[in-house]
Amino acid sequence: MNIEQTLQTAEKILAPWNKDTLRPESNRMDMVVQTDELRAATNALHDAHWGYLSAITGLDLGVESGQLEALYHFCSGPVVVSLRVRVPRENTYLPSIADILPPATFFERELSETLGFKIEGLDESDRLFIPDDWPSDVYPLRSDFAVEQAAPVSGSRIDEIPEQGMLTGNTFVIPIGPQHPALKEPGHFQFTVDGEIVTGAKMRLGYAHRGIEKAAESRSWYQNLYLFERVCGICSHTHAMAYCMGVEKLAQVEAPPRAHAIRELVAGLERIHSHLLWLGVAAHEAGFDTLFMYSWRDRETVMNLLEQVTGNRVNYSANVLGGVKCEVGPEQAAKIKEGLDYLETRIRHYLEVVTTDAMFLNRTRGIGTITAAEAEKFGLLGPTARASGLMRDIRIEAPYGAYVRYPVSLVTRTNGDLEARCEVRLEELLVSCFAIRAILDNMPEGPLTARMPRKIPAGETIARVEAPRGELLYFIKSNGGETPARIHVRTPSLCNWVSVLEKAVGRQLADVPMLIAGMDPCFSCNDRVVTVLRTDKKEAWSWKQLREYGIEYYRR
Amino acid sequence: MNTLASFFTILIYPAGLTLVLLGMFYEWLDRKLVARFQNRVGPRWFQPFADAVKLLAKEQIRPGIVNPYLFFGLPVAALAGASTAALYVPLLGFAPPSSFSGDLIVTLYLLSLPTMCVGLAGWNTTSRFSVIGATRSLTQLFAYEAPFLLALLGPALVAGSWQISEVNEFAQTHWLILTQPVGFLVALIGLMGKLELPPFDAPEAETEIVAGALTEYSGRGLMMFKLGKSIELVVGLTLVSAFYLGGLTGIGSFLIKSIALLVLMAVMQTLFTRFRIDQTVGLWWRFGAIVVLMQIVAIILWKGYMP
């Protein structure tokens, strides 16, 4: 089915509720839907099995207009259909669609916490993203938000959290995080256990919110590149790439083919680094430290390659708006190929280990099985979805940049357990190695950058790229100025959480770290909305004060 | 025994200084070997000693709701249990300073004492991680204890004595690893379970329950538990090598045989993935206990019909 047909199908399904159709881009269709008809429209799409809910973007249309808008992005292949719902500022009620589409839970909570949508039927007893001492009725992403409003309030939620020990009988709450040896990143889980069996699961994010989406609105298009690169340390390149692609689309500038090729090359290397890192973490969670040590040793090879190409080991900073800033010459190409030779043998070896080592299989085979139907229901993305037999890979469904010229093949498994997730990730690396070789052998000649305007024409666009963890979606809105009007980032980890919480229940406590690791969670992906810098004294610190404190601290 | 000799026995050899130093040396060797197998550098030779000094110098923090007597007493009991067990084994290949008929059973009970203390300590501190860790420690104790005992009973039955020194003498002329390979393997793996070494480290699986039962321990208490474990390692290695590897006749044979065992254990620690607690219990009762029981039955039948 081509793009036009897919769009028409969606239009036909949604016809009864459609108030107005817009076609902002060739692969997108926006439909205005009324608040009380949102559920019916969602149901229709769901019943017709048309695509999946990829993200919900909240927009503040400004104080003058007196309206907020929520965009429900449904994706099917390269096609994005957005249901646009407008609500007045004084009455921001929206119906919840989480019972129809479970992944919407997290999106809706983000909407309610950051923009103040009142979602009917949403459990808001505790906060997921913003701090516990954040004042209520202050919404950081509203256009009339001022920093002074965000002074921390005491005595509210933060002090109420009881020291939950024994609940009833033999039931315990095991807290994992925000500081815990199993989590190198800040998240908080509460697993209720009965002996060794998990009977309930809850989570809390937002311990390292940096307010990137808000910060983006006050920085220029160029400055934002550096900001979005720092959303995540592991997949920084894909974030910058998605941002650049979106802005280039808005500015109607096409990056040169050589730039696209180098972008895919770095993305490929980044995937190798990310998945090897994941393999180590997963092995460590399972208590197989030898595999952990070896896979991280080999990961150094790809880190060195990335440093060779971009000059940096972590935030590669390979992208600029309109192209890339690093060149891959014949000397570097030879080094990369040499490194890939070694990596490929190692990856093959690890593939053998995860599929044949009986002790490791004890901990992975048949554990946390997600069937294809469940994966569809939870809205899984990336390798986690592919391990359950879902064909979800933006590089293949909607090839972007150089993926048209240097395609990658799809790797899927059908058993959906932890073993399958290990296999999918490792096999993907072999595919990536293959693609990198193809790029190096047929690198297009030409310039590295195209000229970008300083002001980006008004408009909205959606950029989707396949990050190592799954589909990454950037919604970018410009008012024609030097700074963006709104940038919304939906990271893959956010979509995969639902599956962990659902699957942990009924399992052994010992399997829980493996289940969490199984989806390769990235906390920095989740934590980017807003924060207040504070100390024990509960006061907001300015950047200057914080800097002085840091200098003073290390002088001692 | 005069007073001076008693003091020597308690403070220098075999308890006291010798035991502590041996424990530290074996702990270092184990860590170093595993590190090298895992492609790491590993600790320097004085690391366990430095750890002990550091922990002794540190403040011991007591959680508010614990029973203080138990909290401070349990590490001492654990260390004392492990050290006392050393009195009955041919440490360094010399005859044990104390020996009586049936001391094998006493030694095995004393060797279980550290684990019991860890379990109680976890229960006493009431931290959620500690309680889960303690439950797992004790569950594991019930899993490996019987097979481990049966595995050491094999040589004792063949030697016709329940006295460790006599079994040691008997073993010097009979390499029992050749006639009772199953018992040897069960004893070795049982020792790993006893010491909560990987793959039997579920009780202190850091990715789930931080440090298990000892999560709340710091300073002196933690150091005594750790030291008790190191001493348990030495005593356990001595027992298994004396029973199965042709007995211990002197320092040379002690070092060679026990270090050979330690290398074997380090290899297994490197190769295997941690068992879940249910898998550990399953392994011991569905497999370990049954094979070793079959061997015991075979030995009894053999003794009965071929005197």
Q: Which of A69-78, A321-330, A514-523, B80-89 has the lowest mean pLDDT?
A: A514-523
- Find tokens 């690093």 and name the residue: A326
Q: Is A216 inside any structural domain?
A: yes
Give the span between the Cα atoms of B280 and B135, in whole angstroms.
13
Query: Which residues of chain B are within 8 Å of residue A511 when distances are taken between CB atoms?
Result: 276
Q: Do both A138 and A246 map to the same domain?
A: no
- Tell whether the model's pLDDT for residue A101 goes beyond 80: yes
Chosen domain end from A93, A122, A145? A145
Q: Is B267 on the interface with A (CB under 8 A)?
A: no
Give the pLDDT confidence score for residue A159 in this predicted structure: 40
Cα separation of B91 and B235, whole Å?
7
Task: Specify the higher pLDDT residue, A555 or B168.
Answer: B168
- Of A144-153, A322-331, A458-467, B56-65, the one with minimum mean pLDDT is A144-153
To the nearest 10°, report the CA torsion of A209, A215, A216, A220.
-150
Task: Identify which of B55, B35, B30, B76 has the alpha carbon closest to the alpha carbon of residue B230.
Answer: B30
Q: Is the model's pLDDT at A530 over the cut of 70?
A: no
Whether A362 and B129 lie within 8 Å, measured CB to CB: no
B38 and A293 within 8 Å at the Cβ level: the answer is: yes
Rounded Cα gap, residues B165 and B12, in angstroms: 21
In this prediction, residue A165 carries a pLDDT of 43
Q: Chain A: give the shortest CA distance to residue B203, in Å.
A: 10
For residues A234 and A107, state if they share a domain: no
Q: Average pLDDT of chain B?
A: 85
Query: Does some domain include residue A192?
Result: no
Whole-angstrom distance, CA of residue B74 vs CA of residue B70: 6
What local confidence, expressed as pLDDT, does residue A170 receive?
56
Query: When comparing pLDDT for A184 and A471, which is higher?
Result: A471
Q: Which two tokens stand for residue A160?
A: 């109420």
CB contact under 8 A, B205 and A196: no
Percent of chain A past pLDDT 90, that is, above it, reads 5
pLDDT in tens, B200-220: 887 887 777 777 888 888 888
Which has the higher per-residue pLDDT, A495 or B33?
B33
pLDDT tens track for A39-50: 888 888 888 888
Mean pLDDT value of segment B19-31:
90
DSSP code, position A27: T
Looking at the structure, do residues A355 and A216 belong to the same domain, yes or no?
Answer: yes
pLDDT score, position A539: 47
Candidates B38, B274, B281: best to mutate against A (most CBs of A within 10 A) is: B274
Chain-centroid distance, C-alpha A131: 20
Q: Quick one: pLDDT at residue A534?
A: 35
Answer yes or no: do A380 and A487 share one domain: yes
d(CA A252, CA B33): 60
Assigned domain for A430 exists? yes
For residue A408, being part of any structural domain is answered with: yes
The answer to whether residue A338 is domain-embedded is: yes
Element (H, E) at A430: helix A418-441
Residue A364 lies inside a defined structural domain of this protein = yes
Pair type for strands A20-22 and A28-32 = antiparallel
Could you tell me if residue A170 is inside a domain?
Answer: no
CA distance B214 to chain A (A): 14
- Distance in angstroms (rounded) separating the CA atoms of residues B23 and B21: 5
At residue A549, the pLDDT reads 66
CA A350 vs. chain centroid, Å, equals 26
**Phi and psi angles of residue A399, each rounded to the nearest 5 degrees, phi first:** -55, 135
| Last residue within a domain, chosen from A119, A145, A171 | A145
**What is the structure's pLDDT at B161?**
83
* Cα–Cα distance, A69 to A141 (Å, whole number): 12
Torsional class of A531: left (φ above 0), alpha (ψ -120 to 50), beta (otherwise): beta
Percent of chain B with pLDDT strictly greater than 90: 11
Tokens describing residue B220: 């002196």
How far apart are the C-alpha atoms of A527 and A280, rounded to whole Å? 23
Q: Which of A10-14, A295-299, B302-306 has the lowest mean pLDDT?
A: B302-306
Element (H, E) at A251: helix A236-251
Q: pLDDT tens digits for B275-304?
A: 888 888 888 888 888 888 888 888 888 877
Comparing A36 with B8, which gets the higher pLDDT? A36
Claim to verify: residue A118 and residue A243 sit in the same structural domain: no
Higher local confidence (pLDDT), A488 or A189: A488
In this prediction, residue B29 has a pLDDT band, given cuts at 50, 70 and 90, of very high
Interface A:B, Cβ pairs < 8 A: 83
Query: Using a CB-CB distance cutoff of 8 angstroms, which residues of chain B are in contact with residue A367?
Result: none
- DSSP-derived 3-state class of residue A362: helix
pLDDT of res. A160 = 41
Range of the domain at A38: 3-145
Domain count for chain A, please give it.
2
Partner residue facing A293 (CB), from B40, B209, B274:
B40
Closest-CA residue of A relative to B266 is A290
Which residue in B280, B116, B131 sits closest to B200, CA to CA? B280
B31 within 8 A of B42, measured Cβ to Cβ: yes
Query: Chain A contacts of B39, Cβ < 8 Å?
Result: 293-294, 297
B271 vs A289: CB contact, 8 Å cut-off? no
List all residues 6 or more positions away from B217 whose beta carbon is below 8 Å from its beta carbon: B60, B75, B121, B125, B225
CB-CB under 8 Å, B37 with A174 = no
Instruction: Tell me, yes or no, whether A378 and A519 share the same domain.
Output: yes
Give the pLDDT mean for A492-513.
75
B149/B249 Cα distance (integer angstroms)? 24
Provide the mean pLDDT of chain A.
80
The residue with greater pLDDT, A467 or A519, is: A467
Q: Which residues of B17-41 are buried (b: 16+ CB within 10 A; e: fewer)?
A: ebbbebbbbbbbbbbbbbbebbeee
On the question of pLDDT at A164 being above 60, the answer is no
- Predicted confidence at residue B19, as pLDDT, reads 85
More confident residue, A153 or A225: A225
- Asked whether residue A288 falls in the same domain as residue A429, the answer is yes
Compare A238 and A17 and report the one with higher pLDDT.
A238
Q: What is the CATH number of the domain that holds A30?
A: 3.30.460.80
Is residue A227 domain-shared with residue A91, that is, in the same domain? no
Judged against a pLDDT cut of 80, whether residue A505 lies above it is answered with: no
Q: Tens of pLDDT along A421-434? A: 888 999 999 999 99
Tens-digit pLDDT profile for residues A436-464: 999 998 888 888 888 888 888 888 888 88
Distance CA(A200)–CA(A176), nearest Å, equals 13
Please give the pLDDT value at position A162: 44
Q: Judge whether B247 and B12 are in contact, CB under 8 Å.
A: no
Q: Of the spans A171-180, A206-215, A354-363, B236-245, which averages the highest pLDDT?
A: B236-245
Q: Can you give the CATH number for the domain in which A439 is found?
A: 1.10.645.10
Percent of chain A with pLDDT over 70: 87
Q: Can you say how many angstroms the Cα of residue B51 is from the centroid of all Cα atoms in its chain?
A: 20
> Residue A84 — φ and ψ, nearest 5°?
-105, 125
Q: Which of the given ranges, A11-15, A68-72, B90-94, B160-164, has the highest pLDDT on average?
A: A68-72
Residues A133 and A268 in one domain: no
Among A118, A145, A172, identify where a domain stops. A145
The pLDDT score that the predictor gives to residue A537 is: 41
Q: From CA B259, how far away is CA A247, in angstroms rounded?
A: 65
A92 pLDDT more than 60: yes
Strands A52-60 and A188-194, sheet pairing:
unpaired
User: Is A7 inside a domain boundary?
Assistant: yes
Give me the sign of the Cα torsion angle B43, B48, B52, B53.
Answer: negative
DSSP state of B288: I
Identify all chain A residues contacting B272, using CB atoms and an 8 Å cutoff: 288, 359
Residue B37 to residue A290, Cβ atoms within 8 A: yes
The distance of Cα A454 from the centroid of its chain, to the nearest Å, equals 28
